[in-house]
Structure 1
Amino acid sequence: MAQIAEDLFLLLLDNASGRPGLDRRRRQRVLGAATLLDLAWSCRVRPSVEGEPAGRLIALTGTGPLDPITGPALELLSQRPLKPAAAITKLSRHTEDRLVAHLERSAQIRRIPLPSKSFTKWAASAEPVLPLVNRDRAGPARSALLSALFDRRPPAPPTAAIISLLHATDGLGALLSLNDRGWRWVHARAGEIALGSWVDESPTGLPEINLAVTVSALRPALGS
């Protein structure tokens, strides 16, 4: 299950408009990166180490199930190790479409057809309307994000990954509306999480450590 990518997309849709709250380019890149972090959390991808091609993401063998979101990402890296920026660029092309199709099939979102005929020009340029069917996932995901940022509760790995990705792309404004003081607090706390403080705040094992290390490898590519 691509929990990080799915939860991130559902959070971006969790608004009255039924449209993602982040511009298309940043959204596509952050969703592509999220699929890599899902693979890192399941220990199917890791950054290269000494003796391997420097600055690359390496695919690992495993027996766990894949899904329509993480499967193509692992297949891409299985062909050859890639730099994070290259992997994100390639995955950003189709990840959102795969997420929309998967979440629609699993009845977590629904698609509202756009007007046609006299509204053809407008419809062609508009974002699709994709309201949530319910908030069973988006609600708890948002509560966990707010608790990590404002209550300083140790975030679960998916929450830490989402905060790290949005912080790297200056995308937290898609989820939050704050005054200057609030943003100073959020940026400071999100920066701590992005740097891996969450690994020390709660019990962690190899999957969590690999996730944090992979976040560190992806952040420069997302911030450029």
Structure 2
Amino acid sequence: MTLIAEDLLLLLLDDEKGTVAASSYLQAALGGALLVELALAGSVEVEEKRGFWHSAKVRTTAAAAPQEPVLAAALATVAEKERGAQDLVGRLGKGVKDDLFASLERRGMVEQRRDKVLGLFPRTTWPAVDSTHEDAVRRALTAALVSGAEPDERTRALVALLDALGRAHRTVEHQGMSAGEVRRRAKALADGDWAAKAVKDAIAASTAAMTAAVAAGAAAAGSS
């Protein structure tokens, strides 16, 4: 089974160019996805935020450590010391993109290509090789966002992350629905009472960090 972070990365990837959309806030997005995955596995719990100046804290639980190396490394970061959720999301996402792409390459979904821009600047891209899994993920998202099907927990978590990035409506074919209708459906699924408290708290903390990163990226783009 792929990680939620891997599925998110595939959905943000331009399959032909091998580059990733939303690169300015990709670190927060992948960190958020890892935090949510740990919460789904019962490996972490997120303290409920008690006020504007009080950041929600993340702690490990007594659950067994995950076997997947990227998740195990993420859990080790959580275990270092108690940190605020939004700070932790950034730490979990730092430098993890290449690890996730390497995992996807081992599964035969993407391949690494290295070249130089203008013959001078080194560049690594990850074009798609086999989109079978990505297509299945998109079908599940389309069923939930467009056809009204009841998604499983992992698909809902992915919807919540895409909604925080403002990209849920860009990920599926609308099939006659407006972009606004798809966005509203995504928000309803993300906000619904569907997950255990630890998972909901992890999603809330992750999406807050991602929303902040999206806003910061937009502000930087506007001032340039």
TM-score range, shorter chain: 0.7 to 0.9
- Cα 1:221–1:180 change in 2 (3 A) is farther
Q: Distance in 1 between matches of 2:120 and 2:55?
A: 48
* RMSD between aligned residues: 2.7
Runs of 5+ unmatched residues, structure 2: 213-224
Which of residues 125, 131, 135 in structure 2 aligns to 1:129?
A: 125
Could you state the TM-score of these two structures normalised by the residue count of structure 2? 0.81
- 2:218 matched residue in structure 1: none
Q: Are 1:34 and 2:29 an aligned pair?
A: no
CA contact (8 A) 2:40 2:199 kept: yes
Residues in 2 aligned to 1:50 and 1:32: alpha-carbon distance in whole angstroms: 19
Q: 1:153 to 1:19 in 2, by over 3 A?
A: same
| Distance in 2 between residues matched to 1:90 and 1:65, nearest whole Å | 18
**Pair 1:145 & 2:120 matched:** no
Q: Paired residue for 2:221?
A: none
CA change 1:153–1:180 in 2 (3 A) is: closer
Residue identity opposite 1:25 in structure 2 = S
Deviations along 1:137-195, whole A, 9 cap, x unmatched? 11110100111101111111221111111111223365257699611101111111121
Partner residue, 1:211 = 199
In structure 2, C-alpha distance between the alignment counterparts of 1:2 and 1:143, rounded to whole Å: 16
The aligned amino acid for 2:22 is D
State the AA in 2 paired with 1:222: M
- Are the structure 2 counterparts of residues 153 and 173 from structure 1 closer, same or farther at C-alpha, using a change threshold of 3 Å? closer
Aligned twin of 1:12: 12
Query: Structure 1, unaligned stretches of length 5 or more?
Result: none
More strand by share: 2
Match of 2:182 among 176, 183, 186: 186
The TM-score, its normalising length taken from structure 1, stands at 0.81
The answer to whether the 8 Å contact 1:68/1:102 transfers is no
Q: Which amino acid aligns with 2:109?
A: Q
- Given residue 221 of structure 1, which amino acid in structure 2 is its aligned partner? A
Q: What is residue 168 of structure 2 aligned with on the other side? A: 172
* Aligned-residue offset at 1:83: 1.2
Q: CA deviation at 1:39?
A: 0.5
Whole-angstrom CA distance in 2 between matches of 1:176 and 1:15 = 15
**Structure 2 CA distance, aligned partners of 1:41 and 1:144?**
19
Q: Give the secondary structure class of the aligned counterpart of 2:59.
A: strand
Q: Name the aligned partner's letter for residue 35 of structure 2.
A: L
User: Could you tell me the percent identity over the aligned residues?
Assistant: 24
Q: What does residue 84 of structure 2 align with?
A: 83
| 2:148 alignment partner AA | R
* Cα-to-partner distance string for 1:103-145 (whole Å, 9 max, x where unaligned): 22333211122247x5223x44xxx331222123111101001
* Mapped contact 1:167–1:187 kept (Cα < 8 A): yes
1:56 partner amino acid: K
Structure 2 distance, partners of 1:16, 1:189, is 29
Residue 58 of structure 1: SS of its match in structure 2?
strand
After superposition, the Cα gap between the structure-2 partners of 1:86 and 1:12, relative to the gap in structure 1 and judged at 3 Å, is same
Given that 1:28 and 1:93 are in contact with CA atoms closer than 8 Å, whether structure 2 keeps it comes out as: yes
Alignment of 1:61-80 (within 5 A): 61-80=62-81
